[in-house]
Amino acid sequence: MSESVVTNRAGLSPKAEQAKPQGTFSRWFIVSAGVILFTTGAAKVFSAWASSTHLGFTDPIIGIKFRTLILLVGLLEFLLSFACFLRSMRRFAYRSVLSISSAFLVYRIGLWWIGWQKPCACWGDLTAALHLSPEFSDNVMRLVLGYLVLGSVLSLRILSRVDSSSEQIDSATHQRYLSI
């Protein structure tokens, strides 16, 4: 008799059963990440057209003008937010959110390392339009960044567990097919 994995009626292993509510978290996370990226991306793209003087300065890390950088990053976030909403691109979206949020995290650590004390212009000029102080919006963005990094890591972990469970199911079905 061949070795087989214990499965229920739906063909899911207990591991995969456990992963089901966590998969719901992943779905909610990616939708919320999409909303966040859409908002910040749109704010950046609109801010890039503003006439603020600080946008004419050079970014100390990337070495290009803030205006260009904000526009490029805004467009990237904007495109990525659509990937988050499309079911067919979910896997790509999880990885992209992890990539981009980690890059933002490294960028912020880099700014601190080189001694740049100014608040990050992640929201562009939206903070001024909403009458929020740059420090407040900077702190909000730190929390959002933490949520994106931790959420994407957690989601990818859950996904990999679901993947491994379905792989086990695949191999069990394969074994069963061979034994018939």
Partner 1 sequence: MNLTRKSRCLEVRSIVCFLLAQFWFLFSVAAAGKTEICVKGSFTLSNSNRTNTFNTVVFLTDHAWHIVSTNRATGDWSEIGFDGDSILSLVSGDASSSQSSDRFGAFGYAYSGEFLSPHAPDSARIFFPWMLHCLDRKFFLHNEKISLALPWTAARFSPGAYGYRWDIGYLDNANEIQTIRFVRDRGLDFADDEAELRRAGLDYPFSLPVRTIMLDALATRRATPDGFLCGVYEVEQWADSPLKRIPSKASLTVYVPNHPNLPTIRLGTYEWALNTIETNSDAKPRVLSAPVRTFVVDYRFQATNAVTKFNHAKYVLNAGDYFKPANDAALLAEAANWLENGPRYGLGKKRAVVVGVILGVLLFPFGIWLWREKQKRKGKVCRE
* Among the listed residues 35, 57, 129, 136, the single contact to partner 1 using CB under 8 A: 57
* Among the listed residues 14, 24, 27, 56, the single contact to partner 1 using CB under 8 A: 56
Contact 162, 19 (CB under 8 A): yes
61 binds partner 1 (CB under 8 A): yes
Q: Describe the crossing of helices 14-47 and 66-85 by its angle, rounded to 10 degrees.
A: 140
Can you tell me the distance from the alpha carbon of 123 to that of 121, in angstroms, rounded to the nearest whole number?
Answer: 6
CA 66 to chain centre: 23
Contact 14, 36 (CB under 8 A): no
Contact 10, 122 (CB under 8 A): no
180 binds partner 1 (CB under 8 A): no
* Among the listed residues 6, 115, 177, 180, the single contact to partner 1 using CB under 8 A: 115
* Among the listed residues 18, 72, 95, 119, the single contact to partner 1 using CB under 8 A: 95
Instruction: Look at residues 158, 33, 39, 43 and name the one whose alpha carbon lies nearest to residue 98.
Output: 33
State the nearest-atom distance from the C-beta of 96 to partner 1, in Å: 8
State the nearest-atom distance from the C-beta of 11 to partner 1, in Å: 18
Can you tell me the distance from the alpha carbon of 49 to that of 72, in angstroms, rounded to the nearest whole number?
Answer: 12
Stretch that binds partner 1, among 12-20, 37-45, 97-105, 121-129 (CB under 8 A): 97-105
Sequence-ordered list of residues with C-beta below 8 angstroms from that of 21, at least 6 positions apart, any chain: none
* Among the listed residues 20, 27, 157, 174, the single contact to partner 1 using CB under 8 A: 174
21 binds partner 1 (CB under 8 A): no
State the nearest-atom distance from the C-beta of 28 to partner 1, in Å: 20
Q: What number of CA atoms fall less than 13 Å from residue 131's CA on the CB side?
A: 0
Stretch that binds partner 1, among 9-17, 28-36, 38-46, 103-111 (CB under 8 A): 103-111
98 binds partner 1 (CB under 8 A): yes
Binding footprint of partner 1 on the chain (CB under 8 A) = 56-63, 91, 95-96, 98-100, 102-103, 105-107, 109-110, 113-117, 156, 171, 174
